[in-house]
């Protein structure tokens, strides 16, 4: 499905019932917007890792503007601020008063920005393996120097510089970095996921070469008043657990869950425990 909002066309997909039969009544489930990583990724990996959550929420998968199956847009609008406003425009397009938001990695940065800017429109917030400010980059670079191989350090330089020149270079980056992103990295599963997904390396360049070097939500996180679950992987190199601790300390109603046997890909490193934590949070937050 597509929504024409904010001067562009966003792709979204809906999974699960909003109203569920329960004996003589209909019970309303929360609507959860799922915000993907990148910048320049797409929603496709959510459909293999998060689809089971349809039993507790109606899932709305979204491709950010210019990402995945969303329409190309003016490159000047490929910003964190615009992604935040696009989320609210889609909420309004769908006629929803309040939404639950799950943001992973870069999507978690968008989710924080949304909850800060539109606190009354968020019922519950899930921030998975993300960071609250530009400071995550310096910590990630330090971890890479400590843990990374020479080849990993080499391919990461394109990320830090914002200078990927092709999808082939981006694919090489994810292949080489795979064992740092996931403690259960599987090359065959990576190939399947790469073929399913649609990626925009120019957006990744704009993020790491530009706006991700200066964004900072830390001073505003106390504006977020909804119940919040913050998820971290103990071995995450790109959004280290210290970043999640900062988020959880600053948001008044936040709970931090650190997964001991996970890196950045908690949803695939510890899938059962990850989904159970989200289900438990949604059940508790809605009571």
Domains parsed from the chain with CATH numbers: 2-134+216-285 (3.40.50.1820)
Looking at the chain, the whole-number percentage of residues with pLDDT higher than 90 is 98
pLDDT class for 174, splitting at 50, 70, 90?
A: very high
Reference 266, options 165, 143, 129; nearest CA is 129
Reference 286, options 124, 97, 120; nearest CA is 124
Looking at the chain, the whole-number percentage of residues with pLDDT higher than 70 is 99
Which is it for the CA torsion 14, 107, 197, 72, positive or negative? positive
Kindly state the tokens that stand for 199.
Answer: 């990626």
More confident residue, 207 or 285: 207
Cα–Cα dist 168/173, whole Å: 9
For residue 283, the model assigns a pLDDT of 86
Kindly state the tokens that stand for 179.
Answer: 């064992």
Task: Residue 250: count other Cβ atoms within 10 Å of its Cβ.
Answer: 18
Structural contact between residues 15 and 51, judged by C-beta atoms closer than 8 angstroms: yes
Longest dimension (CA), the chain: 63
Helix ranges, 27-105 (H)? 46-49, 80-93
pLDDT in tens, 88-145: 999 999 999 999 999 999 999 999 999 999 999 999 999 999 999 999 999 999 999 9
- Total-model pTM: 0.97
For residue 286, the model assigns a pLDDT of 58
pLDDT class for 225, splitting at 50, 70, 90?
A: very high
């Amino acid at each position: 499905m597509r929504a024409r909002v904010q001067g562009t066309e966003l792709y979204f997909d809906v999974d699960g019932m909003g109203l569920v039969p329960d004996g003589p009544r209909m019970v309303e489930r929360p609507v959860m917007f799922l915000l993907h990583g990148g910048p320049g990724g797409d929603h496709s990996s959510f459909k293999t890792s998060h689809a089971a959550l349809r039993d507790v929420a109606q899932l709305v998968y979204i491709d950010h503007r210019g990402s995945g199956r969303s329409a190309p847009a003016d490159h000047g609008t490929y910003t964190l601020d615009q992604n935040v406003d696009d989320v609210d425009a889609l909420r309004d397009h769908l006629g929803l008063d309040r939404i639950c938001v799950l943001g992973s990695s870069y999507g978690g940065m968008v989710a924080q920005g949304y909850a800060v800017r539109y606190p009354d429109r968020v019922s519950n917030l899930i921030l998975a393996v993300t960071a609250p400010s530009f400071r995550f980059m310096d910590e990630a670079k330090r971890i890479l120097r400590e843990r990374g191989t020479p080849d990993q350090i080499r391919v990461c330089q394109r990320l830090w510089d914002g200078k990927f020149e092709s999808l082939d270079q981006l694919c090489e980056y994810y292949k080489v970095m795979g064992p740092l992103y996931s403690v259960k990295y599987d090359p065959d599963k990576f190939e399947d996921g790469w073929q399913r997904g649609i990626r925009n390396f120019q957006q990744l360049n704009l993020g790491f070469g530009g706006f991700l070097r200066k964004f900072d939500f830390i001073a505003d996180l106390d504006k977020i008043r909804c119940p919040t679950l913050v998820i971290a992987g103990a071995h995450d190199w790109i959004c280290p657990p210290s970043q999640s601790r900062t988020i959880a300390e600053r948001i008044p109603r936040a709970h931090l869950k650190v997964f001991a046997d996970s890196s950045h890909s908690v949803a695939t490193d510890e899938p059962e425990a990850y989904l159970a934590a989200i289900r438990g949070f949604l059940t508790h937050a809605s009571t």
